[in-house]
Structure 1
Amino acid sequence: MWKIRDLKKKARGTFKRNYVGIVITCFIAAVVMGSFINPLKEVRTIKDTYFDQLNGTVLFAENHNSDMSNTEVVDNFLGKSGEESERAQHWTRGVLSVFAKNTEGAGNFVYGVLNSINQIVFNDRVSAGVTIAIGSLIYLLIAILFTKVLLIGLYRYLLEIRVYTGTRISRILFPWSVKKALHIAWVMFVRSVYSLLWCLTIVGGFIKIYSYKLVPMIIAENPELSAKEAIKLSEDMMKGYKWRAFLIDLSFIGWDILNILTLQILGVFFLEPYKRMTTVELYMTLREKAKERDIENADRLCDKLLESEVTSGIYPINEYFITVPKGKKWILEDYERDYGLSSLILIFFTFAMIGWLWEVLLFLFTRGEFINRGTSHGPWLPIYGVGGTVVLIVLKKFRNKPWLTFLLSMVLCGVIEYFTSLILEKVQGMRWWDYSGYFMNFQGRICLEGLAVFALGGCAAVYLVAPSLDHLFCKIPMKIKKIICVVLVVLFVVDMAYSAFVPNIGEGITDNDVARIEIKKSDVLIASDFLLI
């Protein structure tokens, strides 16, 4: 018969060998799962969703008899005052400012987003009760489809790292990597329903907590098992061991008290990871016993790679008994290609013209008038061309990592936009754009909202637009392509030289909210400055 102290000793050994990785993954899981589950506690009873406790207003009806807007009713429902902080009062422009102000007002991300959509799309006409109901449903779906699935990913990581000390933290995404996330979500949902129903009995809930204790580890090992099979297997494996599992939990009571005294700090850096690893060791011990007893479906626990000796390597994914289906290739163009000089020149002008067309049409639809945007007079906005081509050239070795390309595109475009604005103000004495009032802006020269759009545009340029354009440009005879490039470059240089002395200014171009700075006449033209504009 195995002893509790031996089982916990094995857990401590694994924890000691892989302390940093285990603490980080357990912390990530705790934060993510807690962030989505805890807000459910803020949602009051169904009765309260029909009547606002503050003024008796029926929330599912329009608030005709109340001075509060639907958004303010939601904020009060969540126990928030809805008052803006001094910081939020400066967020007056942009879509992200609306989201940020509502999130801070509600003190809740999901309800902040719902309030923002209500204001932007529906002009705050959606009643507060509908917003609250939708928010509650979203939290329920997140809990079912994500948080419980992430728990399986955590246990998969812990199962692997007890043997393979080189296991990467990314293995916490195991359910999604094997394309079994929806099935796992269903299994965990069924387990939760069973547990809830047993809790309606006097002692059944307490017993079944331990009967179903091994389901997450079982599914982490073999995600192809059905909910019925996993639950039945857990019950059979725990038969005769539920009391000992209870004693294991009881053995941590001293640590639990100490955790309270340390304001939960001990739990983050030691206790919770220690408990998780002990549960994993309990599973592996009972897994071995189940095979010895030849219980039903014990042969389905067939990942023999988890039984290996401790090694410094990583889990050999290619030897996993489940074949992972290949994902669909969404990008058909060869985005890792090299671009010739002529193609880069044409791509630069294409991006610059697309940027000009985008801003002109934006003002045409919002103001109903044609406004030639930019510092120059030609049909191009060079900052778009520079941003697109720089992303193509500088980030070439990161193209196989889209998420990194996105982040680096944001940084590069931010640097280009910031210094372009700075140079223009120093040389020409005025600003062509100003982000003051936008959420997370810096000196009014750049803002998070704009950088996010530029980063998305950079990714679109790298993976879709530039490869397609290059494919098209390669069909143009080289002689004709060179002529086109020369003509465009000459026109561009002439325009930049003329615009240096006679910049494009006026209403809709330089009429920013900041105080005007008188145009300074510059005797010297720094051509390199204006090639970036």
Structure 2
Amino acid sequence: MNRKEMKIQAKRQLRRHYWMIVVICLFAAFFGVEYSSSLWGINLDIPSLAATQTGEGRTQASSNLSDVFQDFLLGREDTARQRVKLNQEQIVRNDTNAMFGRSRGVFASLLNSFSSGAVIVSIADATRSIAHNARATVIVPVMVSMAVYLFVWLFIQQTYRVVMRRMLLEGRLYGRIPASRFLYPLHTRQWPRMAWTMFVKNLFLSLWSLTIIGGIIKHYSYFLVPYIIAENPTIGAAKAIGLSRRMMKGHKWECFVAQLTFLGWHLLDIVTVGLSGIFYSNGYHASFFTEYYVYLRALAKRHGVEGSELLCDTRLFAKADAEEIRKAYADVAEAVDQMRSTIVAADRPRGFTGFLSQWLGIRIMHSNQVARYEEYREDSQQIRIGQEILDGTVYPGRLAPAPMPFSFRESRTISANRSYSLVNLIMMFFIFCFVGWVWEVSLAFITEGTFVNRGTLHGPWLPIYGTGGTIILTLLKRLRDKPAFEFAAAVVLCGCLEYFSSWYLEMTHDGQRWWDYTGYFLNLNGRICAEGLLTFGLGGLAIVYLLAPALDNLLSRIDAKKLGVVAVALLAVYCMDQAYSAKHPNIGAGITDYQDSSTAQVS
């Protein structure tokens, strides 16, 4: 074993796919799969997220949940309900951190229901109302809770171990790791088999752990199971575990020593409050043990280890030749050749028109030059995607032991890389305003049973939704090729918009607020909160990649002059509403009286 060479290769892979590997390891930390210690600094700043501080010490949320669970299991329902009540009162008493509020909002409600154990009581009450059976009231919550826990642990946490190893294995040889690989269990249609194999592996490990020494030894014996499944997810549980045991024979101490060489990085991770781990050492560690698996795999193949023939994903370690790829992707090759033969090059639009279309995604009027260039760009993008597969830049999923489907999209009808006419943008502004208004009015009606005309204006529109949607489409035009950056930028941009809007309305209306997130988990001065920002981020992605292109297609079918008249009429009515509302704003219960309304959110 040449550990030094493996570390050089690991560093090379980390540099090659730096941001993707950082994200892969960060997801592992958030899911509680691996590298969770890198988030300890964040957890220290959010004590209420994992536990509630009391005078007698820390009472963890998982302990509260398990205590309630145990009470129900033993038939002590009254004790369980009393425990939940005390837990909820304790959460309210300790809700003193303005930023990490626990009294309002969806995040806080979900967090509190698990922290206090109220979720168990809710399931029990729902069961009683349906079954009218005391025994079912006890059994069903227990079964549902166990099922939810097992599903999350097995089908998300444990299978993610396989996913991250698959992505790292592909990154060794290929120039790009598709983000779609996060759905590797679904694409291979082997999700249940992967989960079962990981379940059996953990079951065996748990039984061996009862012997203490046996648990340590078997930890290294089963070390390669996730890698084996990542290479060939069709392998059965017993075969994967047996193969890992044989491959690790004589290498357990070697693996232990290799782990010890990262001790310095783990200490640095602690000193830097997790930052060095998140941005370097976690990815370095994961890449190194990927190389270690490749090394042990080669030894197993060379020595004819029993079962090594099941490690048959040869395209993870040697690229297919052009003829083999072209045969497997004949439809893609044909589509690429067809598009390449018919594509017409177009010059980038210049001048003020070019600036608006390229940087802001706006067309004041129809421009043939802009239309031709956008069509050319979309065709070029489709050709690039297909050519990456044919050139072997990405792993050819159709050649995997568990083939992964791939559809080549030629249609431009939902292309996000387009510019929008000014009239269509105005119409989309009002559509977003109206959809936002319907959303919040519906929330008020469902939760409070009454109609509340939300917002500062009197008409059926909430300007912050329309403004947020249109600025995402315009100011973030250059980020549409990078969905992750688009999401982050949408969160920041809409967060700033909402914060400024709240401050401006308060300054211009004698301290009156139309929304207040005080009590919401992760809020800033009650003006913005994590729930709203997450909604804006996800909504921004939906607008950019789905809604806006679809709406643009529909609006473009309408006569431009008639649509222009409608847009001008809407603008006129909207401006009149703004002028009237400046002196006579929309106020009242559920609108500005947010303390008496559970639905007062963004207006």
TM-score (norm 2): 0.61
CA contact (8 A) 2:95 2:101 kept: no
Say whether 1:317 aligns with 2:395: yes
Q: For the residues of structure 2 that align with 1:470 and 1:176, how far apart are their CA atoms?
A: 35
**Does residue 489 of structure 2 align to residue 425 of structure 1?**
no
Question: Structure 1 pair 316/182, CA: closer, same or farther in 2 (3 Å)?
Answer: same
Q: 1:460 deviation in Å?
A: 3.8
Residue 68 of structure 1: which of 79, 82, 87 is its match? 82
Equivalent residues of 1:218, 1:301 under 8 A apart: yes
Q: Secondary structure at the match of 1:423?
A: helix
Q: Give CA deviations for 1:416-453 in whole Å, capped at 9, x if unaligned.
A: 22222222222232222222232222222222223333
Counterparts in 2 of 1:346 and 1:298: CA distance versus 1, 3 Å = same
8 Å CA contact retained: 1:409, 1:455: yes
Query: Quick one: distance in 1 between partners of 2:3 and 2:138?
Result: 50
Q: Does the 8 Å CA contact 2:480/2:486 hold for their aligned counterparts?
A: yes
Describe the SS at the equivalent of 1:33. coil
Residue 97 of structure 1 is matched in structure 2 by: 108
CA shift, 1:317, in A, is 1.4
Alpha-carbon deviations, 1:194-250, whole Å to 9, x = none? 556777899988886666554333333333433354345445x54xx73x2244356
Q: Bigger shift: 446-455 or 362-371?
A: 362-371
Distance 1:506 1:226 in 2: 64
CA distance in 2, matches of 1:370, 1:96: 25
- What do the CA deviations read for 1:31-61 (whole angstroms, capped 9, x no partner)? 7325999x9x9989xx988865xxxxx5554
Q: Structure 1 counterpart of 2:430, which letter?
A: F
Among candidates 500, 516, 524, match of residue 434 of structure 1: 516
Counterpart of 1:387 in structure 2: which amino acid? G
Deviation at 1:363, TM superposition (A): 4.0
Q: Quick check: 1:466 aligned with 2:466? A: no
State whether residues 61 and 127 of structure 1, in contact with CA within 8 Å, keep that contact through their aligned partners in structure 2.
no
Distance 1:466 1:119, change over 3 A: farther
Partner of residue 254, structure 2: 248
Structure 1 range deviating more: 386-395 or 350-359: 350-359
**1:189-208 alignment to 2 at 5 Å?**
189-193=199-203
Aligned partner (choices 171, 175, 193) of residue 183 of structure 1: 193
Mark the runs of 5 or more structure 1 residues left unpaired by the alignment.
1-5, 53-57, 515-532
Q: Secondary structure at the match of 2:420?
A: coil
**Structure 2 stretches lacking a partner, 5+ long:** 38-49, 51-59, 320-391, 597-602
Measured after TM superposition, the shift of residue 415 of structure 1 is 1.9
For residue 498 of structure 1, what is the aligned residue in structure 2?
A: 580
- Structure 1 partner of 2:346: none
| CA shift in 2, pair 1:83/1:140, >3 Å | farther
User: Is 1:33 aligned to 2:43, yes or no?
Assistant: no
SS at match of 2:155: helix
Q: Which residue of 2 aligns with 1:142?
A: 152
Query: In the alignment, what sits opposite 1:301?
Result: 311
Q: Which of 86, 91, 95 is the equivalent residue of 2:96?
A: 86
Shift in Å at residue 128 of structure 1?
A: 8.7
CA separation of 1:463 and 1:172: change in aligned 2, threshold 3 A:
closer
For the structure 1 residues 414 and 121, does the alpha-carbon distance in structure 2 shift closer, same or farther, using more than 3 Å as the test? farther
CA distance in 1, matches of 2:232, 2:70: 47
Q: CA deviation at 1:100?
A: 4.0
Q: 1:427 to 1:225 in 2, by over 3 A?
A: same
CA distance in 1, matches of 2:432, 2:260: 64
* Farther off after superposition, 171-180 or 116-125: 116-125
Mapping for residues 16-415 of structure 1, pairs under 5 Å:
29=28, 32-33=32-33, 52=71, 59=73, 61=75, 63-64=77-78, 68-70=82-84, 72=86, 84=94, 86-87=96-97, 91-102=102-113, 105=115, 114=119, 134-156=144-166, 159=169, 164=173, 173=182, 175-176=184-185, 179=188, 180-193=190-203, 212-234=222-244, 237-238=246-247, 242=249, 244-248=250-254, 283-294=293-304, 297-304=307-314, 316-318=394-396, 321-322=399-400, 323-326=403-406, 334-336=414-416, 337-367=418-448, 369-399=450-480, 401-415=482-496
Q: How far apart, in 2, do the equivalents of 1:275 and 1:450 lie?
A: 36
Change (3 A) 1:440 1:119: farther
Task: Indicate the SS of the match to 1:433.
Answer: coil
Q: In 2 relative to 1, CA 383–255 (structure 1 residues): closer, same or farther, beyond 3 Å?
A: closer
Equivalent in the alignment of 2:328: none
Q: CA deviation at 1:257?
A: 9.8
CA distance in 1: counterparts of 2:551 and 2:185, whole angstroms: 34
Query: How many Å separate the matches in 2 of 1:363 and 1:471?
Result: 32
Structure having the higher Rg: 1
The one-letter code of the counterpart of 1:219 is: I
Query: What is residue 527 of structure 1 aligned with on the other side?
Result: none
Question: Quick check: which one's helix share is greater?
Answer: 2
2: CA distance, partners of 1:428 / 1:209? 64
Query: 1:195·1:205 contact (CA, 8 Å) conserved in 2?
Result: yes
Checking the alignment, whether the CA contact within 8 Å between 2:423 and 2:567 is kept in structure 1 is yes
The number of residue pairs the alignment matches comes to 482
One-letter amino acid matched to 1:477: D
Assess, with a 3 A threshold, how the Cα gap between structure 1 residues 171 and 290 changes in structure 2: closer, same or farther. Answer: farther
Aligned to 2:353: none
Which deviations, in whole Å up to 9, do the C-alpha atoms of 1:167-217 show, x marking residues without a partner?
A: 869799484485344433233334445556777899988886666554333
2:472 maps to amino acid: V
> 2:10, 2:112 → 1: CA distance?
42
Bigger drift between 424-433 and 318-327 goes to 318-327
Mapped contact 1:152–1:219 kept (Cα < 8 A): yes
CA distance 1:207–1:348, shift in 2 (3 Å): closer
Distance across 2 between alignment mates of 1:319 and 1:398: 28
Work out the percentage of aligned pairs sharing the same amino acid. Answer: 35
